[in-house]
Each structure stands twice: as structure tokens, then as C-alpha cells.
Homo-oligomer: A and B are copies of this chain.
Amino acid sequence: MSLSPTEENYLKAIFKIAEKEKKAVGTNSIAKQMDTAPASVTDMIKKLADKDLINYEKYKGVSLTPAGNKAATNLIRKHRLWEVFLVNKLRFAWHQVHDIAEELEHIMSDELILRLDAFLDYPKFDPHGDPIPNAEGKFTLRTQMSLSDMTLLQSGVVLGVKEHQTEFLKHLTKLNIKLGSEIKILEITDFDLSMRIHIDNKYEEVISKTISQNLLMKRN
């Protein structure tokens, strides 16, 4: 059974919400994620439940079935592989690739993804540091923490970003922060928890708590 791009997007939205909140996913949160009216979500929910992609009880929210989970992770796999292609092969910047990958992820050929994966050398993480699930839907796990949870004089390496907004990513680039950058905390201001940091032992910058919270690190 094949899914429309819209159906796939709903499954992905449900997956992403379920990732954060443990419990059943509500109509309203899906509506917000998809930027549609709650009534539209109810319609689609019924359709996906009929196809056994989600578990649904009226007024009780939804969760993905194994089949739905498979479809969602496969879409995420495709999205992230295409992002790797766009950045590593076509030399796009990391803030430019989300919307394009959002379209590319719906191309249907499985053979295409197989070959793309090989062409890219089987990457395990995308340009934002997010793990790329394998063909079975398994994500590679790593221990990582927000820079905001590290303390004075500690240092670490940037593994990824929590926030994917264009403006945030452009800002990081301006600060010379990228995946793999080494960051050392030189000073923490008690008042607002802003940090003075050393980037790759080369650039000294001050960053707000909002930024340090969204930087995912491996501590040295």
C-alpha cells in the first residue's frame, strides 16, 4: 500500500511529537506541527487508522503502529540522506537544505535511496548532527549534552543542533561554529547564563543561554 505525501507528512509529524512527549499524541499538537486546522487532522487521523498506521480512539489521541513507525522513520531516513547529498555533494550551507529535502523525501523509489546511501558512503548523521535511521528504522545513539549543561572551563566538540531554524544556523555560521568545532567555556555570567567561549582555540565569542541550550556536545 502506498502513501500520499500528505499522509507521510502526518506520520512524520506524529513521530516527531511522540519523540518528545511520551504519551498519546493529541489532535491539536498535530494541527500545530502540520500548520492545519484541528478538524483536518481528525479527518486524516481516521484515514490513517483505517490503514492501520496509527492506533486511534476518539478523544484519546493517537500513536504509531509498527507499520506507521516504519513509514515515518523511512521518511526521516530519506530526508536526512538528501540533506547529506545537498550539503556534501552540492555544497549547500546547512541552513539551506531543509525545505528542499522536504520535497525530495517524497520521491518514491527504494532503489534510489539504496544507491544514494551508497553514493554518500552510508552516512550515520545528517548535516545538523541528527542520526540517519538505517533501512530497518534503527537510529544510531550517542551520548550528548547541551552546551548549557556543561560547566566552567570544560570543553567539548559540537555534535549537532537542537534548533533547525535558518536564522539560528546562520548565526552559528557567523560565529564560526560548525559540526566538529571544539568549544571551551571561558566564563559563565550568573545573571543570564550567557557564556564566553573559545571556538577551535581561535575565536572568542559570547553566546546567550538560548544558543548554548541548542548546541549538542560531546564532552572532552
CB pair A90 B107 closer than 8 Å: no
Of B96, B103, B112, B116, which one neighbours A107 at CB under 8 angstroms? B103
What's the interface size class on A, roughly? 10 to 19
For A92, the closest partner residue in chain B by CB is B115
Interface SS of chain A: helix, strand, loop or mixed?
A: helix
Interface string of A108-151 (1 = CB under 8 A from B): 11011001100100000000000000000000000000000000
- Report whether A100 and B107 are in contact in the complex, using a CB–CB cutoff of 8 Å: yes
Chain multiplicity (copies):
2
Report A179-211 CB contacts with B as 1/0, cut-off 8 Å.
000000000000000000000000000000000
Q: A90 near B116 (CB under 8 angstroms)?
A: yes
CB-defined contacts of A115 to chain B, threshold 8 Å: 90-92
> How far, in whole Å, are A60 and B157 apart by their CA atoms in the complex?
68
Bound CA span A135–B86, Å: 20
Would you call B112 and A100 a contact (CB within 8 A)?
A: yes
A20 to chain B, nearest CB (A): 29
Q: Which of B96, B100, B119 contacts A90 (CB 8 A)?
A: B119
Complex CA distance for A137 and B107, rounded to whole angstroms: 26
* Interface residue? A89 (CB, 8 A): yes
Binary B-proximity of A77-106 (CB < 8 A = 1, otherwise 0): 000000000100111100010011001100
Measured in the bound complex, the distance between the Cα atoms of B112 and A109 in whole Å is 20
A107 to B112, CA, bound (A): 16
Which residue from chain B places its CB closest to the CB of A82 in the assembled complex?
Answer: B107
Expressed in whole angstroms, the Cα–Cα distance for A20 and B165 within the complex equals: 48
Can you name 7 A-B pairs with beta carbons within 8 Å?
A90-B119, A99-B109, A100-B107, A100-B109, A103-B107, A103-B109, A104-B107
